[in-house]
Structure 1
């Protein structure tokens, strides 16, 4: 099992800063919102904009919420780490599919504006 990964202290999020990082093949982003810490996870290696988010979950903006977030991220890191690694061609195909879907949705949004 990998060592624990780093999460900023609570004041980082209380000061309205987001956090994006990775742990093995897990990539994640944590954003403070009025309702708490919104966390999103996806499988790397691509950046957020080129990836399909697998789950989004909100945690309390508290020390207890950070610990709950850490446990949730640890579960995701372990689950993603057990998956077979896609080859380069498959990884690029997945990235390109996400890009195409985002472009299609952006085109639809422009058509309705």
Structure 2
């Protein structure tokens, strides 16, 4: 599956339990593999993860189908982002 909006690496990257953070405009996200799940969080603004309020979070099964759902969920969250965030 092609991930249109985000460069979130590939499933192999996460198999070593690497954490990944990224952004597009003022939309920020963090993907954390934990046990047999992907734990995904999003926030808005210019501040780092530690200084931000998490707007949404979700969990997905740690396999290719779950990985594809992570990408789809991030794209959905990005499309729903508040327009007032500067």
Superposition TM-score tier, normalisation by shorter sequence: 0.7 to 0.9
Q: Deviations along 1:38-97, whole A, 9 cap, x unmatched? A: 0000002110011000111111111111111111101111111x52234xxxxxxxxxxx
Which structure has the larger Rg? 1
What residue in structure 1 maps to residue 51 of structure 2?
Answer: 50
Q: Secondary structure at the match of 2:12?
A: helix
Aligned counterparts, 1:4-23, within 5 A: 4-23=5-24
Greater per-residue strand proportion: 2
Consecutive unaligned residues in structure 1, runs of 5 or more:
87-113
Q: Deviations along 1:8-40, whole A, 9 cap, x unmatched? A: 111111111000000222100011101411000
Q: Which structure ranks higher in relative contact order (CA pairs < 8 Å, sequence separation ≥ 6)?
A: 2
Counterpart Cα distance in 2 of 1:52 and 1:26: 12
Counterpart Cα distance in 2 of 1:76 and 1:16: 23
Tell me the C-alpha RMSD between the 2 structures. Answer: 1.4
Report the TM-score when normalising by structure 2.
0.87
Consecutive unaligned residues in structure 2, runs of 5 or more:
none
1:39 aligns with 2:36: no
